[in-house]
Chain A
Amino acid sequence: MDLKQILKKNRESFIKKWFQAAIDTYPLQTAKVLGKDSNRFDNPIGAVTHESIEDVFDLIMENFSQETLEKALDPIIRIRAVQAFSASEAVSFVFALKQIGENFIDGSLIREFDKIVDQIALASFNKYMKCKQEIFLLKATESKRRIHRAFERAGLVAELKEEDLLGSKNS
């Protein structure tokens, strides 16, 4: 069996264990709530974490690129980027996959699997930084949008326009 077949065969177990590992990065009492299989609107972190993990896992069973990985990781990282995690803690759940993999994957394939996990980790870090940059940009532009734009429109102030600031988002 090649690596992808092993992953496919053990998909449910992988996802279950990986989800639990991600939820266990939260404080004990929180993890009890987030780990519950409740309505996705009553438990957004749990639901989004589960969906995102499923998407990433399905992706690595197929052909994937850095770009598709980042897209699949977006929902989970977007949440972790605004929580009390340090940068390393925010992406740490990815590395739990290595340990989980050891239960299912033979020695000869483990190196190949670890390389995939490394790629997920790198994509996670990229995404984390992008989310943080978005937060900084929101901080910089919000007050301007809230008050200055109205004044600008009224011709009461003439300064750097909001578009000039927002332009950096596209670059």
Chain B
Amino acid sequence: MSDELKPDELLDKIDYGPRSGSRPDSASGNWMDTTASVQIRPGMYCYAAKAESVETLGLPNAREWNPLDKDWKLPDNWQEIIFQGLKDRLEKFRTFKVFMDICVRCGACADKCHFFLGTGDPKNMPVLRAELLRSVYRNDFSTAAKILGKIPGGKALAGARPMTIDVLKEWWYYFFQCTECRRCSVFCPYGIDTAEITIMAREIFNLLGLNIDWIATPVSNCFKTGNHLGIQPHAFKDMLEFFVEDIEDVTGVDCTPQFQKKGADILFITPSGDVFADPGTYTCEGYLILFKYLKDKYGLDVTWSTYASEGGNFGFFTSHETMKRLNAKMYAEAKRLGVKWILGGECGHMWRVLHQYMDTMNGPADFLEEPVNPITGTKFENARSTKMVHITEFTADLIKHGKLELDKSRNANRIMTFHDSCNPARGMGLLDEPRYIIENVCDNFYEMPPNTIREQTFCCGSGSGLNAGENMELRMAGALPRANAVKYVHEKFGVNTLGTICAIDRATLTTLCEYWVPDVEVYGIHELVGNALILPGEKKRTEDLRFEPLPGVEEEEDE
């Protein structure tokens, strides 16, 4: 009998999950034994937050540190800080508590994550990524797990493990390999929102000064200067005036916008990426053309603001408190200017913040009016409380009521497909309005396969602050499921244009296409609107907003 295994030894042999890594030396058979497997690999992680950016926001433990170093320069009581941080959040957020307890490890989410499907790393299965945190929760908080822990081998049975520095490093590595896209939650029978678990993990990192710089510096810039890039008001204005010149070259019409106009009907806020980063800049020109058209035709009074010059909110990827601080600016400016309501540009996470958090965070915005389109009379009842309307809802409504004069032929060379950005699609259910606009400004539109669009859309692989350059391998791997579907419609229908309504998408999908599907270009929806919209008094257009010849024009010139 002496060769028989004791109960606790037997339990240790249970395969709780994948072997870590592809090399035999790291394949211990027990996923919780992570000390050998966590190797923070260049190309997969983002650089550490700069001390000055952490300081700007008054967040703790600002210092220079490097994720590749052994010593992360943590405070001595870091374990206590994590314990208290978890405890506070378990008490404050009922969802978090439920999500920690309720998972039955059914595996429905396992193969739904773009990072798992692209990297092939089992710890990117949403269930296992969450389990990295749950295992510590079970060790420190779960009553059932505590009881189990008292019997031999019980800790392993409960899936519990103590918080060590290697566990923390593993958390950091994998919770920055989640874009909070929530595709996994669509498939979870319990509706566990793994994004929320990532959000909590990142809040805890910020208690220890463990943010990444691609998030921390934009947040700091936004807090100080008003937008992620830290562009000062005069430069913001210069850029828009430069777009006005370009638009005038193409259309012959002066579309000069208004800034900080008190008493305007509508305050327009868009992510600063539209103002400073190609190809979003062309989408921005589309907004300017639309507002000029509406002013001339219907007298609509829209104002921009150099103070509320950022629709995006990287605070959302830092902590609830930081998100709130950045979001508050928009409403402060709307109040100061005395506008009726806010119109928001084509952005991704800005709308998740708006739709799911704003109302209980900074709302209700009772000093604004319930949004009504003054041209069509449509009440945007979905925005009754936040008082903020998505520009594709607004434009789709105008088209529906025949208020826009459009020349589709100017986009005849665009063979379109549409990428549903995770946040507008899954975060607020905005699915049909962008498609309706595309169909009214373009002749050729082909959907990607149903399991890759709408609620089931695949993330661009670079959301939630992961659109840095140093983690390009991670981004391209995470982009594979999306690219795979784009490539399919490109090959089958000759699709050459990927439309999207998110500023991060416009930048990152361009890179995705360059690597995976080089013949496809990325366009914002209002760039297409800007091309198609017939401005009162415009000259005969021969070029689109990118100064490329309009379809048919080249042939005419050749003749």
Chain A residues packing against B (C-beta within 8 Å)? 25-30, 33-34, 39-45, 47-48, 78-79, 82-85, 89, 134-135, 138-139, 142-143, 145-147, 149-151, 153-156
- Residues of chain B at the chain A interface (Cβ within 8 Å): 17-22, 27, 41, 43-44, 110-111, 116-122, 125, 229, 235, 238-239, 242, 246, 273, 275-278, 281, 449, 451-452, 469-470, 472-474, 476-477, 480-481, 484-485, 488, 507, 510-511, 514-516
B residues less than 8 Å from A134 (CB atoms): 514-515
- The listed residue (A25, A41, A42, A147) touching B229 by CB distance below 8 A is A147
Chain A residues with CB under 8 A of B19: 27-29
CA distance A26 to B510 in the complex (A): 29
Closest A residue, CB atoms, query B31: A29
Q: How far is the CA of A82 from the CA of B242 in the complex (A)?
A: 39
Contacts of B276 in A (CB 8 A): 147, 150-151
Nearest CB to that of B29 among chain A residues? A28
Please give, as numbers and ranges, the residues of chain B lying within 8 Å of A156 by CB-CB distance.
235, 238
**Residue contact B21 to A30, C-beta cutoff 8 Å:** no
Determine whether the beta carbon of A30 is less than 8 Å from that of B18: yes
Q: Which chain B residue lies CB-closest to A92?
A: B22
29 residue pairs from A and B, CB less than 8 Å apart: A26-B120, A27-B120, A28-B18, A28-B19, A28-B27, A29-B18, A34-B120, A42-B117, A43-B111, A45-B117, A82-B43, A82-B118, A82-B472, A83-B119, A84-B44, A85-B22, A134-B514, A135-B43, A135-B472, A138-B511, A138-B514, A142-B472, A143-B469, A146-B273, A146-B277, A150-B276, A150-B277, A153-B242, A153-B246
Give the residue name and chain of the B residue nearest to A162 (CB).
B278
Q: In the complex, how many angstroms separate the beta carbon of A128 from the nearest chain B beta carbon?
A: 13
Closest to B229 in A: A147
> A109 to nearest B CB, angstroms?
32
Distance of A48 Cα from B516 Cα, bound (Å):
12
Out of B20, B229, B246, B488, which one reaches A27, CB within 8 Å? B20
* CB contact under 8 A between A139 and B469, given known A41-B451, A78-B516: yes
Complex CA–CA separation, A24 to B168 (angstroms): 30
**In the complex, what's the smallest C-beta–C-beta distance from A23 to chain B, in angstroms?**
9
Say how far B486's CB is from chain A's closest CB, in angstroms. 11
Q: Beyond A28-B27, A30-B18, A45-B117: 19 further Cβ-contacts under 8 Å?
A: A27-B19, A27-B20, A27-B121, A41-B481, A41-B484, A43-B111, A44-B118, A44-B481, A79-B480, A82-B474, A82-B476, A83-B477, A84-B21, A134-B514, A135-B476, A138-B472, A145-B278, A153-B242, A154-B238
